[in-house]
Each structure stands twice: as C-alpha cells, then as structure tokens.
Structure 1
Amino acid sequence: MYRFLLTPRWLGILALTLVAAAVMVLLGNWQLDRYRGRTAINERIDAGERMAPVPLRDAVPAPSGGAGTAGPAPADDATWTRVTATGRYDTANVVLVRGRTVDNRVGFEVVTPLLLADGTAVLVDQGWVPPAPGGAMAQPQLPPVPQGEVTVVGRVHPTESGGGAVDRRAGRLETRRIAVSRLAGELPYPVHGAYVLLDEQTPATDPLFQAVPIGHTNNWQNFGYVVQWWLFAAMTLFGYGWVARREARRMAGLDEPRKSIDRAAEPTPVTPTTVTPTTPA
C-alpha cells in the first residue's frame, strides 16, 4: 500500500517535512536556551536582594586604561551582585538619562560618577526624578548630593546596549541609554565596566530621588515559545503521516464502498410529468 512513498514526489515531500520539523525543533531549543538564561538572571536578582554587600572590586574588575576608557565588563554571575564602594561624587559630570519610566511616569534617571581613592570612578544611578514643568524632556532641578566622602550600596547593573549620542546641555551630560563605554569617553578618568544601581547611601540620599525598581525578565514567554515550536514540529510530522495514509487508502480503493453507499443513499430524482389538457369535442 505504501510503495508510492518511494516515488520521487513523495520522497521530496518527506525531505521537506523533515527539514521543516528539524528547523522547528532547533528554534524550540534556541528558545529553551533563552529561557534558561533569563531564569538565571532572575535568580541572581533575587539572590542580590538577600546577600550582604561585597567590595566593588570583588564583582567588577578595575579599569586598566587611561582617562576616557571603560574597564572590562563583569562576569555574568557577578551581575546584580550587591556591592559597596566609598568615594566622592563628581557633580561636574552628572549624567541625565532621559525618557525613563517609573510608576507610569516619564522622567530622568540621574547617574553620577563616584570618584574612588585610586583615581578611577564607577557610575552610580542615584534614582529617578520627575522632569521640570514644561514637558517630559525638560531638565529637572536636581537636589544637592552629599559633599565629601560617600559610601554607597547597590546592585551591579550591566551596561546597556546602544546608547546613541551623549550631549551636554546646561552643564550636564544627557543621553538615552546608560552605555558605560560611551559615557566613559566624556569623562576625564577611567570608569568601571558596569554601573551601580543605588540601594542605600551614607550620608542618606535626598528623598526626591525615587529608587529605580529592578524588573525580572519574562522567562515564561520563552518557555511558551519552546512548547509552541515543538508542537508545530510534531504537527508537521503528524500531518505528513495523515496525508500519506489517506493517499494509501485512496490508491487501495478503500474509500470507494463508502462513496457507493453515499450515492445509493441519495434520493432518486423525480421527473415531473407534463399533463396535456384535452379539448372538449
């Protein structure tokens, strides 16, 4: 019954089916890797909330280049680690990161370099502030930052991708993304390859700064894609088998009796009889 599967036409259909199913399985495996990676990030975020802070250098390598350069990025398992560092803020190079949303309000995140004792610096995201009256792009009035020595505690945040242009407006740097390497080029000292998302500070930070929440990645979306692609692969193979079986039954004539029964069950059409009227004599 199934010898027709060895014909060039059906062998070609089989090859296309297997290739399509294999591609779908590979796409499912790719989404599975993304699910595992995002799950690991969420686990590090949760662990960072519970851990005691460690010195900055234990998580982020020190920069070794000259002024205007960024150091190496931290290892993946060091991101979101809770760290502490002591230095003084460089208020002459405050960075305003525009277009940032907190609690459904658009404003600015304020990133200030913290100068360390060895002459390097680490960027510290002090928090979110609303824009000045006049629109979401109006530069805010910033509260004063502590003068002198400051100790910060926060989470190691990896550099953001992209970044776009870094402009200087009204004496402040302004950008759209916290791209450490791009911002480092605007600063007169080497900078660590990640920034610190502030949790607490001594002396205390101004209450106008609102803490930037750390959002977990949507790893379950990737898991849904895994199930979707693998299900599509199974449906593709099932569809090939179903079509092949139907063709085999057709070639074997197994569907003919059913068609004959169906035709026998159809009512016989009635031919209308024409009555010719008679003319009275």
Structure 2
Amino acid sequence: MYRFLLTPRWLGYLALTLAAAAVMVLLGDWQLHRYQQRAAINGRIDASATAAPVPVDRVLPPAGTAAGSAGAEPPADAEWTRVTVTGEYDPANLILIRGRTVDGQVGFEVLTPLRTAGGHAVLVDRGWIPPAPGAATVLPQVPATPSGAVTVLARVRRSESRPDTVQHRGGRLESRRISVPRLAAELPYPVYGGYLLLDEQTPAADPAFVAIPVEHQNDWQNAGYVVQWWLFAGMALFGYGWAARREARGGPTAAGPDADRVPAVAAGP
C-alpha cells in the first residue's frame, strides 16, 4: 500500500521535508540559546538593583600600565555587577556620546574618567543631558564636574558593539558609541576595560543629569520564536505524513486506474 514512498518522487519529497524540518529545529535551538542569554542578562539586572556593591578591582581586570591602553573587557557574567570606587574626576578629558535618546529626546551621555589612587582611570557614565538649543547635535552645556575625592556607586557595563570613530569637537572628545578601547587610546593614562553606569555618587551628582534608563532584554520574543520554529518543523513532518496517507488511500492501485470498476456483464448466451 505504501510502496510508492520508495519511488524517486516521494523519496525527493521526504528528503526535502527532512531538510526543511532540520533547518527549522536548528533555528529554534538558536532562538533558545538567545532566550537563555537574554534571560541571564535580565537576571543580572534584577539582582544588581539590590546587591551589595563590591570594589571595582574585584570585577574589572587590571587596567595595565601604558598610557592610552585599556584593560581586558570584563566577562559577560560580570556585566551589571554593582561596584564602588573612589577617585577624582578628570574634566579635561570629558567624553560626549552623541545621538542618545531618553524619553523620546535625543541628547548626549557624558562619560568622565575617574582617576584612582593607583594612577588608573575608569570611565563613568554620569548620565544624559539635552543638547543646547538649535539641533540635536549642538554641543550641550555640561554641568560642572565635582572636584576632589568622589565615591561612585555604579554598575559595570561592557563596550558597545559596532565601535565608532572618536572625534575632537569643541575641545572635547566625542563619539557615537561607547567603545572603551577606542576612547582609552585618546587618554593620557591606562583605563579599565569596562565602563560604569552611575547609580549614586558622593558628593551628589548634579540634578541636571538624567539617569540612563536600564532596559530589560525582550527574552519572551525569543521564546516565542522557539515555539514557532519547532511547530513549523512538526507541521512539515505532519504534512508529509498526511500527503502520503492521502496518496495511499485515494491514489491509483497497482492494478491500474480501472481496477476498482465493476466489470460489465456480457449480454447473450
């Protein structure tokens, strides 16, 4: 009844179905991996909100010794760790990160190197400020940088992907992306490989700064894609089985297309 499955046409259908189902399963596995990654990030973000801070040296690798060098990037599982560090801001090497949106308005994030007693520096994202009147790219009025010793409570961040060039404009460094190695190359001291997203500082930060919102990853979107691709794989296999069963029940038999007809009774003796 199912011998037709061994014909070249049906073997081709089977190969195509299995290949399509395998690709869909692999795509589902990839989305599952992305879901697990994003869920882990969300877990670290949630945990960092209440975790006790640790000294920055316990989380970020050593910054090295050469001026303009950056330390190794912190591991992925160290991102969002809450840390504390004390040092002095270096307003002469303040860095503006342009094209950043907060509450629907485009402005700048302000990164300022915090120099520690050991001679190293860590980049601190102090917050967001709007541009000066005129356009989104007009250089902003940056609030005064605290002088003297500053204690920072912040969360560790890794460099952003797709690093951009670093420009000099208005006596300040400016970039579109936060790439610690590229920014460190413009500074006269070694820099830790990750940067810090400010939560609190002593003395208090200027109220003109807007805190950078911490956005959770959309891990449920990836979970939905996992279900979608695996359902498609199952549907492809089901479709092949359904087509084969339909062919077996309704297709021509081995005796030919007229085998099911009732033979006519011959007239006469």
> What interval of TM-score do these two structures reach, taking the shorter chain for normalisation?
over 0.9
Deviations 1:234-261 (A, max 9, x none): 11001111111121123256xx9xxx9x
Secondary structure, aligned partner of 1:98: strand
Contact 1:65 1:71 in 2 (8 A): no
Q: Spell out structure 1 runs of 4+ moving beyond 2 A.
A: 250-253
User: What's the counterpart of residue 17 of structure 1?
Assistant: 17
Q: Distance in 1 between matches of 2:65 and 2:73?
A: 13
User: What's the counterpart of residue 197 of structure 2?
Assistant: 197
Residue 49 (structure 1) aligned with residue 49 (structure 2): yes
Residue 175 (structure 1) aligned with residue 179 (structure 2): no
Q: Distance in 2 between matches of 1:146 and 1:20?
A: 61
Q: Distance in 2 between matches of 1:9 and 1:227?
A: 31
Amino acid at match of 1:112: T
The 5-angstrom pairing of residues 259-270 of structure 1 reads none
Q: How many residues align?
A: 256
Secondary structure, aligned partner of 1:204: coil
User: What's the counterpart of residue 28 of structure 2?
Assistant: 28
Contact 1:25 1:233 in 2 (8 A): yes
Secondary structure, aligned partner of 1:52: coil
**Offset at residue 52 of structure 1 (A):** 1.1
Deviations 1:207-253 (A, max 9, x none): 00111011000000100110110011011001111111121123256
User: What's the counterpart of residue 106 of structure 1?
Assistant: 106
User: What's the counterpart of residue 40 of structure 2?
Assistant: 40
Structure 1 residue runs of 5 or longer lacking an equivalent are 261-281
Secondary structure, aligned partner of 1:221: helix
User: What's the counterpart of residue 264 of structure 2?
Assistant: none
Q: Distance in 1 between matches of 2:98 and 2:182?
A: 16
Q: Distance in 2 between matches of 1:251 and 1:186?
A: 76
Secondary structure, aligned partner of 2:251: helix
What RMSD in Å do the two structures reach over aligned CA positions?
1.5
Q: Distance in 2 between matches of 1:216 and 1:190?
A: 31
Secondary structure, aligned partner of 2:128: strand
Amino acid at match of 2:118: D
Residue 250 (structure 1) aligned with residue 250 (structure 2): yes
The 5-angstrom pairing of residues 185-264 of structure 1 reads 185-252=185-252
Structure 2 residue runs of 5 or longer lacking an equivalent are 262-269
**Offset at residue 65 of structure 1 (A):** 4.6
Q: Quick check: 243-252 or 71-80, which moved more? A: 243-252
Amino acid at match of 1:251: G
TM-score, length basis structure 1: 0.88
Q: Could you tell me the percent identity over the aligned residues?
A: 65
Contact 1:28 1:230 in 2 (8 A): yes
Q: Distance in 1 between matches of 2:20 and 2:190?
A: 51
